[in-house]
Amino acid sequence: MTANSGVSCSFMLACPTDRARLEIEGDAARCPICGCVYARTNQIWRFVDHRLAPYENFLATYRVVRRAEGWGSHDAAYYCNLPQTSRDDPQAAIWRVRAASFKKLVALVEPGARLLDVGAGNGWLSYQFARRGHAVAALDLNDDAREGLGAQNFYPLPLDCYQADFDHLPFDAAQFDVVIFNASLHYSRNLTQTLNEAWRVLKPNDKLIVMDSPLYRQRASGKAMLREKANEFQSRYGLEMDRTMRGFLTFDDFQQSVCAWQWYPTRVDWRWALRPLRARALGQREPAQFGVTVGKPPAARWT
């Protein structure tokens, strides 16, 4: 394991409760209005306090399932090479999709852009952009040492990490050039509030990007997928799946938004392209689509 050196805060922080700019001294940030003090421990700024409680069951289940499915590693090289993995990796198929989406994402992000990686997980995307010279904030609720923000210790570059939830971002307004939901927007419990928070911290006229959330044309297909997953959680792990999060997105979700979106589908290979046709021929539900969806902010700004 490679322990990186400490990282100074590169962004203006705001209280997730009242949005007042925080006063930072060392590893503590204090709100001048409500008096709340937020600490940085193990190189992670902690903004969850009482907000973590509603997610504790989800996080516990998530960690059990991810370990059982073979995610993560004890090898620093594994993390530094992501989204590329070996063919025998238990999740090689998913990482192939991520790699194809990431290639498109890199082409969409301007050099030197300041990025917010929402749902950063083990920090692979933050690391890949940091090594390309971007200032990146990695944000997630999960601080697990292999599949959460704790995995930052595997990287040779320091990552700027924040433990917080999507709907209460700990940042001052209008300071990011790009906000990226990194295979994570489908975990939102309130899509409107989550997107509003993202627009709030974006600079005017900059990009909000949704990458690799499962996307369906028919809502019934997404619901069928969730039923399948819930049955699997119960039969394989004896666990109840968290039903408070969306679990998937539809094209209608984007069409009903107040801004215009452009979708770039991820194309892995010809077998991947034929999945919808194969599903129809076999009478199965439509498979999820993955890709990169880019939105421009609405005319009204949040402050």
Start-end of H helices in 72-190: 76-81, 92-108, 124-130
Boundaries of every domain in the chain: 41-295
Find all residues with CB under 8 Å of 103, minimum gap 6, and list them.
none
The tokens describing 197, both together, are 């928070």
What integer pLDDT is reported at residue 299 of this predicted model?
Answer: 56
Low-confidence ranges of the chain (pLDDT < 70): 1-9, 258, 298-303
| C-alpha closest to that of 83 among 75, 68, 93 | 93
Using CA atoms, how far apart are residues 261 and 268, in angstroms rounded to an integer? 22
Using CA atoms, how far apart are residues 106 and 242, in angstroms rounded to an integer? 32
b/e sequence 10-25, b meaning 16+ C-beta within 10 Å: ebebbbbeebbbbebe
Count how many Cα atoms sit within 13 Å of the Cα of residue 159 in the half-sphere of its side chain.
Answer: 34
What integer pLDDT is reported at residue 301 of this predicted model?
Answer: 44
Find all residues with CB under 8 Å of 178, minimum gap 6, and list them.
109, 113, 114, 115, 116, 202, 206, 207, 208, 209
Angle at 41 (CA atoms; ends 39, 47), nearest 5 degrees: 45
List phi, psi (to 5°) of 166: -60, -35
Using CA atoms, how far apart are residues 53 and 129, in angstroms rounded to an integer? 31
In tens, the pLDDT along 100-109 reads 999 999 999 9
CA 76, chain centre distance (Å):
21
CATH 3.40.50.150 fits 41-295, yes or no: yes
What integer pLDDT is reported at residue 8 of this predicted model?
Answer: 54
What integer pLDDT is reported at residue 196 of this predicted model?
Answer: 92
Using CA atoms, how far apart are residues 4 and 152, in angstroms rounded to an integer? 8
Q: CB pairs under 8 A, 24+ apart, for 94-99?
A: 96/268, 97/212, 97/266, 97/268, 97/272, 97/290, 98/183, 98/212
